[in-house]
Structure formats: C-alpha cells, structure tokens
Structure 1
Amino acid sequence: MTRIRHEPVAPTRTQWLAPGSDIDAHRHDDHQIVYAARGVLAITTDVGTWIAPATRAIWVPAGTVHAHHAHGALDLRLVGLPATDNPLGLDAPTVLTAGPLLRELILAYTGDPEEDSPERRRLLAVLLDQLAASPQQPVHLPAPTDTRLKRVCDVLRADPGDQRTLTALSREAGASTRTLSRLFMSDLGMTFPQWRTQLRLYHALVLLAEDVPVTTVAHQCGWSSASAFIDVFRRAYGDTPGRHRPRERRASAAPTVQTRRPRRLRPGVDR
C-alpha cells in the first residue's frame, strides 16, 4: 500500500522540477494555489487529472490527496492558505484562468515567502481578490472507474490520435456502443467526443512543453490540420499553441532592439 505523505502546512515557495519529475501523492491541512510559471503542470487525484500551462493556476483544497508531474522544465510556484480561508468556496481541485495581473501577483508573493510584513499581507489580499474573480476552466480529465470504460480510455491514452469511432472501440471493451455512451456520461460526466477532445488537448500541452512543432502536435493528437487544432486550442486556452512552446515563449520574452532611422539633414540648417 502506497503511503500518503502528510504535510500539515501547505508551503509557499518556488520549486524547480526537471522534465518528467514527480512529487509523490501527499496532502496538506491547508489550501494551496499551484502555478507553473514555466512548463506544464499536471495534478492527479484518484478521480482524474488537472493540467495547467502558464495561463492557468490550480486550486487544491485542504485535505486533497494529490501528486504533481512536470511536463517540460517546471518553475513551480506554491501559495499556501489557511483552511479557514476559502475565497473560492471550492471543495475539489479547479483550474482557474491566470491573467497577467494574477500571474504577476503569484510571482511576487512567492519571490520572498519568508518575509512577513503589512505590505506582503496586502499583496496576498489583492492576490485572493484576483483569484476569486478568475473564471474556472474545464481542464479536468476525469478517470473512469468502470472496467469496460477504462479499456477504451486506456486505448486512447496510448494513442490520442486514434480516429476510431466509439462503435469500433466498443469491440475493445466488450460492451455495446449504447452502454459505453451511457457510461461516459454517468462515470465521467461528459460525452465520448468531449472526453476525447479533452484528452487530445491534454496531450497537446505535453508535446508543446517538449517543444514539438505545432503541425506535428496537431497530427499526433488527431486533428486533420494545424488550423483545426489551433482553433480548438485557442477556444480552450485563450491563446495559440505556439505560445506554449518553450522556444517561442523565450523568443517573445526577449527584449527587442529599437533602431532609429538616420535623420535627414536639412540644407542650410543641419551641418
């Protein structure tokens, strides 16, 4: 039996994780905001996986047993909050939009977690206000419990680009298409196409964090064209897939060099 590590106080800190690194299953008595300033973070519980790039933060309620996995080099920012303070009123992990202001607040607050001052407390108050106003995002990939459904999901996890219909996949599960359709709704809370799209988006974020080109990601994840993939990705995450590749993020962050055009001399005035 796997032992679950218990950490009474959820830490506020910055932590670097190498690509593919894990933080084993653990729980805190406090709530925690988890944010990846770089890379893609996956948090897994016994009911599924939540995944977040740098435009998202994950709310982890107190007492939730969860594990972390790093896709790409991960700059992990953790903000611990007392269990008595739940500004979101949520009792399950939730992915939230991390707009520019919220991202900067998290980075500033985790930059010097040992300091305790009135300024820092005011910073946290603004951070919580922004967090409470952040829209929730459906970036949760639920895990099946039914063995027949699990067979189908395992096939698609192994190859998210698999184009087979649910009828064709039902032969793998030993169940009818109607039964599997019902199980997707009752066990996972979404239709088969919705779950498969969510899986493909999850896998796309992983590949992008590994700096795989967008066109390659689109085909490996089952989209017929890069443009179709970009459209679905933008609607799900609010920006283009290329912004999540480390190479393009580094390029967009690089300072631009301003060049001045030479001033033309005016006859009789400039010498």
Structure 2
Amino acid sequence: MHLWPSGETLPEHSHPRGHLVYAARGVLSVHTARGTSIVPANRAAWTPAGFAHRHRAHGHTDMRIVFLPAALAKLLPSHPAVFAASDLARELLLALTGPGDHDDAASARLRRVLVDQLREAREQPLHLPDPRDDRLRAVARVLYEQPGDTTSLADLGRATGASARTLSRLFHDELGMTFYEWRTQLRIGHALVLLADGHDTTHVAHACGWANPSHFIAAFTAVVGTTPGRHRAGGVSG
C-alpha cells in the first residue's frame, strides 16, 4: 500500500517479478516502453517481470501492488495490459494489500483466485501504445501536448510531411487502431487525470476536445464503464 499526493511520481525501474497495480482511490498512470496505461478504480494494470516502468499519481492516490510468483505470472499476458476489475477482484486486491494478516498459504490462494478473475476479464482499451515511426511521433506529440486539439489527420499530416492515407496505414499497422480510436483513448486518459484533479464534467469535456458534454459522457462511459460524474464521485461499476 502506497499513499501518494497528486503528482507524485516513481522514477523508472523494473522488478524481477510481474506485478499488478490498483488505485483504491485516485488514478494511476503506468508508463512503459510499450505505452501508457491509465488505471482508474475499476481497472488493474499488469506489468510483466523485467519491464522498465514508472508510475504517476493523479489526485490523492491509494496505490496497491501485488507481486505474482512466476507460476501465476505466466498465466497473464507477456506484455503490459489493463484489465477490468470485478467486485471480487477489487476485494482480493484490497485484502492482499490491506492491514489484515494472511499466512503464506492463504495469500497464495487469494492470488490464484485473483489471477482467475483477471483471466476471465477482457483486456481493456486504457493502454495507449506509443508510436515509433517519426511521422506518427510528430502527430502524437501535438496531441500529447494538447489532447483537445481537433485538427484533422490530413492537416496534421501536412504539418509532418505525410499524407492522411499514409498516417492512417501507419496507425493501423503499428498501433493496431485507427487515428480516431487512438485519439479517443488519449483523450479519455487525459479526462481521467482531469477528473482526479477535481475538474467538473463540462470543463473536462471541452478540455479534451468534445464540444458537446453529452457526447463526451457517452464516449467516456463506453471506455471506462461508468459515467464521468459517477467516476468523479468515487463510484465504480463491475
């Protein structure tokens, strides 16, 4: 258990064991060479052994970490991932990291059930892959700095020396998603950070590029699984 003030960061490091991180309160971002995972209270992030990573807290954050033995870690993906955390998974994460005492055998049983729960859950689209191609990186840099930017892909391409068609192909081939899917993921991640910092839904919608707050609410709910208002109030859904 680690209680972090908003903005607290942990420099890049790695572990010899894979681990899960969970934000019992607040929002975490987990950065690796593969991209950035945003972890609100209804998600758990998985980082395999040996992956260099760093954490950042958004809002006052109660971060929980569960390390897994190799026999259980091999049942989870070999790449960083974000999973939906069911009610049972959340209780297991809290039990394994809380003040209560568990003997080794009991903790091992809880970890096995937790991994079973995560294996039944689908990977969630809150992992934003970082582009490698220089043209994509130039486009991404614009949106990282200003997630609410509404410049079209064609206009972004003209600024980076690539056609919209070329950029579309690169997004699909390198990142496995369309430009608009990638931009939506980026915006939702930024929205989670702004909500954790206490901003209201209308402000967040406009800051993240939605002129109509109701469209933002629909997009946010589709990705996160709960409305921005409920998320900001601390409610989660399974």
Which of the five TM-score ranges fits, normalised by the shorter chain? over 0.9
Aligned AA (1:146): D
Which has the larger share of helix? 2
Alpha-carbon distance in structure 2 between the residues aligned to 1:114 and 1:31: 22
Deviates more, 1:119-128 or 1:130-139: 119-128
Q: CA deviation at 1:82?
A: 1.3
Aligned AA (2:113): V
The yes-or-no answer on 1:172 pairing with 2:168 is: no
Equivalent residue number for residue 35 of structure 2: 48
Residue 208 of structure 2, aligned match among 194, 198, 221:
221
Equivalent residue number for residue 184 of structure 1: 171
Q: Deviations over 1:50-87 (max 9, x none)?
A: 11100000111111111111111110000011123226
Q: Which runs of 5+ in 2 are unaligned?
A: none
Equivalent residue number for residue 227 of structure 2: 240
Equivalent residue number for residue 75 of structure 1: 62
Q: CA deviation at 1:177?
A: 1.7
Q: CA deviation at 1:30?
A: 0.9
Alpha-carbon distance in structure 2 between the residues aligned to 1:198 and 1:153: 12
Tell me, what secondary structure is at the counterpart of 1:19? Answer: coil
Tell me, what secondary structure is at the counterpart of 1:85? Answer: helix
Alpha-carbon distance in structure 2 between the residues aligned to 1:188 and 1:83: 29
- 2:5–2:60 CA contact under 8 A, matched in 1: yes
Alpha-carbon distance in structure 2 between the residues aligned to 1:164 and 1:244: 29
Count of residue correspondences: 236
Q: Which runs of 5+ in 1 are unaligned?
A: 1-13, 254-271
Alpha-carbon distance in structure 2 between the residues aligned to 1:33 and 1:171: 41
- 2:37–2:127 CA contact under 8 A, matched in 1: yes
Tell me, what secondary structure is at the counterpart of 1:40? Answer: strand
Tell me, what secondary structure is at the counterpart of 1:76? Answer: strand
Cα gap change, 1:113 to 1:80, in 2 (>3 Å): farther
Residue 133 of structure 1, aligned match among 108, 111, 120:
120
Deviates more, 1:110-119 or 1:225-234: 110-119
- 2:28–2:55 CA contact under 8 A, matched in 1: yes
Q: 4+ residue stretches of structure 1 with deviation over 4 A?
A: none
- 1:152–1:173 CA contact under 8 A, matched in 2: yes
**RMSD of aligned residue pairs (Cα, Å):** 1.8
Alpha-carbon distance in structure 2 between the residues aligned to 1:78 and 1:104: 13
Tell me, what secondary structure is at the counterpart of 2:14? Answer: strand
Alpha-carbon distance in structure 2 between the residues aligned to 1:211 and 1:195: 25
The yes-or-no answer on 1:195 pairing with 2:173 is: no
Cα gap change, 1:168 to 1:122, in 2 (>3 Å): same
Q: CA deviation at 1:19?
A: 0.8
Equivalent residue number for residue 110 of structure 2: 123
Q: CA deviation at 1:184?
A: 1.3
Equivalent residue number for residue 154 of structure 1: 141
Residue 26 of structure 2, aligned match among 39, 58, 71:
39
When Rg is computed on C-alpha atoms for both structures, the one with the higher figure is: 1
TM norm structure 1: 0.82
Aligned AA (2:153): L
Equivalent residue number for residue 95 of structure 1: 82
Aligned AA (2:81): T
- 2:135–2:162 CA contact under 8 A, matched in 1: yes
Q: Deviations over 1:230-262 (max 9, x none)?
A: 1111111111111222xx22xx69xxxxxxxxx
Cα gap change, 1:232 to 1:117, in 2 (>3 Å): same
Aligned AA (1:55): N
Aligned AA (2:192): L
Alpha-carbon distance in structure 1 between the residues aligned to 2:67 and 2:165: 45
Aligned AA (1:234): T
Alpha-carbon distance in structure 2 between the residues aligned to 1:187 and 1:118: 43
